[in-house]
């Protein structure tokens, strides 16, 4: 049986045969006895000012053993928050990811230059993952050149899928109702590879990014 890892979802893990990372805001983070999570402040939810106490609380949440990543942090030119404010919040969350030693899940909309500028400035040790990537192959190549991982959901450009090395590719549902198994099947078809090969490649990537301290087998 193929194992389907969903690295970013806003749904509960209800499908058989899959493991997922449920994305939460600080206000909605309420971990159960099992399950994996990411926690962060989305640029759409960014207030005019984030109190220092809120950053301390977010760092404490990020250090929780069931939290596997920080985010989604983001830069989004369609969001109402000023870009200066978005960048400041992004830097704080990227710094928290470095402090707790966990990857950063990135929400990116029409702000590639800003993202790459911040990545060059911060030179992070922890992986940065652009989630829900729908861009063209040229943009994929630019992000990959700067060391980012790309996570694909229900909608994607097939050429971008084929451009992305298997060692940098992740898969997610985000808010889509499309089952994770179907998204895997679509990605495998786009790459013209067996589904089992894709599942194994993503498993290896998930282990190296999120579970490097132990095996997922």
Spacing of C-alpha 118 from chain mean position: 17
Pairing of strands 18-24, 4-9: parallel
CA-closest candidate to residue 34, choices 21, 53, 50, 16: 21
pLDDT bin (cut points 50, 70, 90) of residue 15 is low
* 131 annotated to a ligand binding site: yes
124 CB-side CA count, 13 A: 28
Q: Encode pLDDT of 109-153 as tens digits.
A: 999 999 999 999 999 999 999 999 999 999 999 999 999 999 999
Element (H, E) at 54: helix 52-62
Residue 14 pLDDT = 59
CA-closest candidate to residue 79, choices 105, 104, 108: 108
Tokens of 35: 């399950």
Torsion, Cα 108 109 114 116, to 10 degrees, reads 40
Provide the β-strand partners of residue 151: 170
Domain spans in the chain, listed from the N-terminal domain onward: 43-104, 131-217
Indicate the burial class of 135 (C-beta count within 10 angstroms; 0-12, 13-18, 19 or more).
middle
* 10 annotated to a ligand binding site: no
- Of the ranges 31-35, 66-70, 168-172, which one carries the lowest mean pLDDT score? 31-35
Helices (H) and strands (E) in the chain, counts: 7, 8
Residue 27 pLDDT = 93
Sign of CA dihedral 107, 115, 203, 214: negative
Provide the β-strand partners of residue 149: 129
Provide the β-strand partners of residue 20: 6
Q: Encode pLDDT of 56-112 as tens digits.
A: 999 999 999 999 999 999 999 999 999 999 999 999 999 999 999 999 999 999 999
- pTM of the predicted structure, to 2 decimals: 0.94
**Cα–Cα distance measured from residue 162 to residue 42, given in angstroms and rounded to the nearest whole number:** 29
pLDDT bin (cut points 50, 70, 90) of residue 33 is confident
Average pLDDT over residues 35-63: 95
Tokens of 167: 């060692």
**Cα–Cα distance measured from residue 74 to residue 88, given in angstroms and rounded to the nearest whole number:** 10
Helix, coil or strand: residue 6: strand
Q: Flag whether pLDDT at 16 surpasses 50.
A: no
* 212 annotated to a ligand binding site: no
Provide the strand spans (E) within the chain: 4-9, 18-24, 36-39, 67-76, 104-109, 128-130, 149-152, 169-171
Average pLDDT over residues 155-175: 97
Q: Look up residue 8 and give its DSSP letter.
A: E
Residue 124 pLDDT = 98
């Amino acid at each position: 049986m193929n194992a389907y890892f969903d690295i970013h979802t806003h749904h509960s893990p209800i499908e058989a045969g899959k493991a997922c990372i449920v994305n939460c805001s600080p206000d909605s983070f309420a971990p159960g006895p099992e399950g994996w999570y990411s926690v962060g402040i989305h640029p759409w939810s960014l207030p005019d000012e984030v109190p220092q106490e809120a950053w301390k609380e977010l760092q404490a949440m990020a250090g929780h053993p069931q939290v596997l990543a920080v985010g989604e942090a983001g830069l989004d030119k369609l969001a109402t928050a000023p870009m200066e404010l978005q960048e400041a919040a992004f830097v704080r969350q990227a710094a928290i990811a470095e402090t707790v030693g966990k990857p950063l899940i990135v929400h990116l909309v029409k702000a590639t230059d800003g993202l790459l500028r911040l990545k060059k400035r911060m030179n992070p040790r922890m992986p940065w993952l652009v989630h829900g990537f729908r861009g063209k192959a040229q943009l994929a190549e630019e992000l990959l050149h700067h060391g980012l991982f790309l996570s694909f959901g229900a909608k994607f450009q097939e050429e971008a899928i084929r451009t992305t090395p298997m060692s940098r590719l992740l898969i997610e549902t985000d808010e889509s109702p499309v089952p994770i198994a179907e998204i895997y099947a679509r990605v495998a078809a786009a790459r013209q590879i067996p589904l089992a090969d894709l599942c194994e490649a993503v498993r290896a990537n998930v282990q190296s990014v999120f579970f490097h301290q132990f095996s997922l087998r």
